[in-house]
Amino acid sequence: MDFKVFEDNILKLLNRYNEINELLSNLEIINNPSKLISLSQEKAELEEVVNNYKELNKLRNYLSDLKELKNSEDEEIKTLAEEEFQVVEKNIDNLESKLLNFILPKDPLDEKNIILEIRAGAGGEEAALFASELLRMYLRYAERKNAKTEILSINETGIGGIKEAIISIKGKRIYSRLKFESGTHRVQRVPETESGGRIHTSTATVAVLPEADEIDVTIDERDLKIDTFRAGGAGGQHVNKTDSAVRITHLPTGIVVACQDERSQFQNKEKAMRILAAKILEEKRIASEKEIATFRKIQVGSGDRSEKIRTYNFPQGRVTDHRINLTLYRLNEILDGDLDEIIDALIAAENMRKLELLSVQ
């Protein structure tokens, strides 16, 4: 993408920075604490744009000097200039990419923590085992990012698989990184229980929901139908002998959430309410996006669970993301939570689509 097409947008940000500097010296602003804080924060955000643009112009001037040196009759100077020219050109490209990120439309949910759901799909016990591996992958990714995780609900099978797991991940801009994981994940491998050595295909679905704050979603208790029941499955005698499990139905939307992993009814209700709020916020987001058709044009995927987004092929040791046709032969590392190469490529693809949309407006 040609940076010069968008340079006017960058210059508008620089003008805004200068405008803020003038406003901050205005007595009316100085005597208005809330306005003063707001403008100071905006100025701090724009300082990186200003510094990067200054550095960009310095490098452009330096590159112009190097062009002349490349025509030198002194072979040694000519060789050094050509080598330096390549380095500076690469640094300019990096700075231009950084600056373009500042003019892209921002997703207001990017700063949110997330509720991540994993469900076993087609493939029986093998699908449940794959779902368990995906859960570990996301827990390891969160660990690499120093993010805090909490298992809100989990339904395990007898041999180490999971039918469903719901986890909370809290970390810096975690939604901005993991929102691309929503969809159907497919695994191709020979199951451990398969004696014939045939490759099976199984699936698991992932949904990434931004965790709702009170300001995002207000839930009226009168809109809730709350049922308690005796928990089943693993959990010990206490869980199975008391009505500690909670099922909440949100009557206006029909959303149903159940939690049974905690010992107390209060704790299960608290977790269920967090999941419910995230699901309601997600419904609001989807409804809003349907009104803004351009959003779907810039997304690298629809975010629907039915969309097949990625294949994990064990015989070939590869992972393929079908939305951007990216194939990596690093299966073990990726399943150990090393997702950054895939996520960075997905972010780059989405940013490119945003820029293409901006260029025709």
- 283 class by beta-carbon count within 10 Å (0-12 exposed, 13-18 middle, 19+ buried): middle
Residue 292 has pLDDT above 60, yes or no: no
Virtual torsion, Cα 333, 338, 339, 344, nearest 10 deg: -120
* 65-86 mean pLDDT: 92
| Chain CA centroid to CA 131, Å | 19
Cα–Cα nearest to 122, from 304, 303, 259, 305: 305
pLDDT at position 5 is 84
pLDDT at position 294 is 53
195-218 burial by CB neighbour count: b if 16+ within 10 A, else e?
Answer: eeeeeeebbbbbbbbbbbeeebbe
Lowest mean pLDDT among 161-165, 183-187, 209-213: 209-213
Lowest mean pLDDT among 58-62, 155-159, 309-313: 155-159
Q: By the 8 A CB rule, do 106 and 195 touch?
A: no
* 79-99 mean pLDDT: 93
Residue 355 has pLDDT above 80, yes or no: yes
Indicate the pLDDT class of residue 236, thresholds 50, 70 and 90: very low
Q: By the 8 A CB rule, do 53 and 14 touch?
A: yes
Lowest mean pLDDT among 159-163, 194-198, 310-314: 194-198
Topology adopted by domain 114-214+300-360: Alpha-Beta Plaits (3.30.70)
What strands, in cross-sheet order, belong to the sheet with 245-250? Answer: 224-229, 245-250, 255-259
Indicate the pLDDT class of residue 241, thresholds 50, 70 and 90: low
Q: By the 8 A CB rule, do 56 and 102 touch?
A: no
Long-range contacts of 80-84 (CB under 8 A, 24+ apart): none
Tell me the pLDDT of the chain averaged across its residues: 88
Indicate the pLDDT class of residue 358, thresholds 50, 70 and 90: confident
d(CA 152, CA 261): 8
- Would you kindly state where each structural domain of the chain is located, as residue ranges? 3-103, 114-214+300-360, 221-290
Residue range 13-36, pLDDT digits in tens: 999 999 999 999 999 999 999 999
Q: What is the total residue count of the chain? A: 361
The position carrying tokens 């977790």 is 271
d(CA 253, CA 255): 5
The reply to whether 221-290 shares the fold of 114-214+300-360 is no
For the chain, counts of helices (H) and of strands (E): 11, 11
pLDDT at position 158 is 79
More confident residue, 261 or 81: 81
The CATH class for the domain spanning 221-290 reads: alpha beta
Indicate the pLDDT class of residue 217, thresholds 50, 70 and 90: confident
d(CA 41, CA 35): 10
pLDDT at position 239 is 45
Beta strand pairing call for 162-170 and 318-321: unpaired
Residue range 105-143, pLDDT digits in tens: 888 889 999 999 999 999 889 999 999 999 999 999 999
d(CA 351, CA 361): 16
159-188 burial by CB neighbour count: b if 16+ within 10 A, else e?
Answer: eebbbbbbbbbebeebbbbbbbbbbbbbbe
Q: What percent of the chain has pLDDT over 70?
A: 89
Residue range 155-173, pLDDT digits in tens: 998 788 999 999 999 999 9
Q: Which two tokens stand for residue 11?
A: 């210059």
Residue 51 has pLDDT above 80, yes or no: yes
Lowest mean pLDDT among 38-47, 234-243, 254-263: 234-243
Residue 11 has pLDDT above 80, yes or no: yes
